[in-house]
Amino acid sequence: MRTGYTLNGRYRIIRSLGEGGMANVYLAHDLILDRDVSVKLLRLDLRDDPATVRRFQREALAATELVNDNIVQVYDVGEENGMQYLVMEYVEGTDLKAFIKKHFPIPYQEVIQIMMQILNAVKTAHEHNIIHRDLKPQNILIDEHQVAKITDFGIAVAMSEHSLTQTNTVLGSVHYLSPEQARGGMATKQSDIYSLGIILYEMLTGTVPFEGETAVSIALKHFQSEIPSVRDIDPRIPQALENVVLKATSKRPADRYTDVASMAEDLKTSLSPKRAGELRFTPAENDDGETKVLPVSALSTSPVPHAIAKTPGEKAAAATKTDPETTDQAATGKKKRKKYRHPRRRKFLIAGGIILLLILGIFIGMALFRPQMTNVPNVVGDEETVARRAMATAKLKVGTVHKTASNKVKVHRVVRTEPRSGTQLKQETVVDLWISTGPKRYKLANYQGDSYASTAAKLEALGFSVHRESVHSTSVPAGKIMQQSVAAGRQVIPAKTDLTFTVSTGSETVTLADLSNKTKSQAQSYATSHNLNLAFQYAYSSDVTKGHVIRQSPGEGAVVQEGDEITLTMSRGDQSESSSSVDEFSVNVKIPFDSGSTADDSDDDSESSASSSSDSNLVQIYLRDQDHELSSIYKQMTITADTTVTLPFTVAAGKSGAYKVVRDGHVIASDNHVTKN
């Protein structure tokens, strides 16, 4: 689609954002709501497939029900000239795949924070019985505040009918494909959980678990090969965190988490010191009725029966039937062996005794001289002095004492030891201690002008309690933060801090009343109570009393936004009654926008909100001529940039007018002698 094309008379295409196996994505501007959006168009080769089109429409409409801060919101669904399209929230940032490549290695806590947002989004989808089917880092967007948003809920289902035939599409998704999907089975919620496990694997290791030359070879590995251990790649990863990967990516869906909420709960505590000694997760044994090849050693051995059995008589005859010569030789040999056997046996006995003594000596020496072992005691939660005594009792030495923040362990108490408690060590080995400095403090930024949704999601993930107060505003766009209850720059403890943001809901609409025949003061009172701006122009009228409204624009019943300007035509009275000539002229006045900072200079302990650079200026214009007095406001307006206004004057011949411009309470321009020339 070309740049500049306006879809449905509303969405103007700006540029291409990317192309996928099912759709092409464009950045567009919503001309009605004045905001940037993403427009996703179904690919040309799929538009002639009625089943795909129907499913695209049905699932896209279902996706509009998914209201979650971590799901890209679907604003509109439609069709134009056979083109099926979705209009969605535009997220300015990058996808998770590029984020991993740029920022790897990612701190474990940050991995969990991002993953918890992803799980939150999938949980909402599953609660609406919507299975994504194509979860992968390329379908997860990360904005500049590290807020994760999942996209492609609508198109993911449509892809399921084509994923086995469109090689390029599968190649982008097969790295995250569940074993049951790889076998051609139906996708379930556990299939999404498997994909989430692979995504977590990639965030921890920087790579996917299985690679191959073709999509088929990779798919085969998903249901034939075990997931490689993340701890083999990074031994610092706690076993509890690896267990989340292992359980989520179990081959059998029954061995995975029952739901996304269970996975989130397990992931949330995976870095807890209480889980430091956790064993490696192993799924339940299940041969699924497969044929097994047993080793030879597993088979019991039994003597092979003789081909021909002898009768008892034959056995007796064989026993008594002997050769005399052979018997004599055997007897002679027996005597010789008996004659020489005793000296040799004596030698063997002596040698064996010496060997036994040597072995016994070695064991005694090992018992006497081997290093004495001990276990690291569990001192988590103890004061440092108590921990030192416990180490001394265990015959261990205390090494470096580190300071670290902790939300769970009280200040001045042990958070963890290195090596961990329960580890067997040689006596007199050095053990380091980590002592709590109390909960981690977070420095608040200035959030004025930021999106409330993304800011609240980020802060809640850090542990803050976030509240919202909504107000109408003519100068601040809807959804943007106007004020914050705690000043920027303050160091606070997230779990103990409540933040309240004042958020703009945009301008409120006003249905105009009939202002005809109203006086100027009556019209100004109406405008003030409805947050409207007035502009005046004048005309002679023999029907309307001087100083009253002849007409208005827009007219009665028109719907306008707060802050909009209404033009009133005021009566000068009957022209025949005017005995003196007048001069009518206009003067252009430039009003500069002031973006200077008005930041509060209060210290960090102040509870007042810190204000940043001004987003808008309130301007009031006073006019004096035949129809106006400098004591009353001629026009009030809000500006966000340098603005030029045209001031109309009507003065008696030979007389002059005057004006005064006030910006945010300060007079910035005035002229007390304004004439036609």
Q: Rounded to whole angstroms, what are the CA distances from 500 to 145, 464, 481, 484?
A: 19, 10, 10, 6
**What residue type is 233 in one-letter code?**
I
Catalytic residue among 34, 48, 95, 134: 134
Pairing mode, strands 498-504 and 533-539? unpaired
Hey, what are 677's tokens?
């020339």
Residue 98 host element (H or E):
helix 96-103
For residue 323, indicate whether it is catalytic.
Answer: no
Residue 351 host element (H or E):
helix 324-369
**What residue type is 571 in one-letter code?**
S
Specify burial of residue 569 (Cβ count, 10 A radius: 0-12, 13-18, 19+): middle
Helix locations, 174-284, DSSP H:
179-182, 189-205, 215-224, 230-233, 239-248, 260-268
Helix locations, 505-661, DSSP H:
520-529
Using DSSP, state whether 193 is helix, strand or coil.
Answer: helix
Residue 672 host element (H or E):
strand 666-674
Three-state secondary structure readout of 367-421: HHHCCCEEECCCCCCCEHHHHHHHHHHCCCEEEEEEEECCCCCCCCEEEEEECCC
Distance CA 633, CA 529 (A): 15
Specify burial of residue 629 (Cβ count, 10 A radius: 0-12, 13-18, 19+): exposed
**What residue type is 412 in one-letter code?**
H
Specify burial of residue 491 (Cβ count, 10 A radius: 0-12, 13-18, 19+): exposed
Contact between 104 and 234 (Cβ < 8 Å): no
Cβ neighbours around 432 below 10 Å, total: 13
Query: Residue 42: phi, psi to the nearest 5?
Result: -60, 140
Distance CA 9, CA 29 (A): 11
Q: Return the bridge partners of 650, or none.
A: 584
Residue 647 host element (H or E):
strand 643-652
3-state percent breakdown (helix, strand, coil) of the chain, nearest 5: 30, 25, 40
Distance CA 372, CA 262 (A): 44
Tell me which residues are annotated as active site.
134
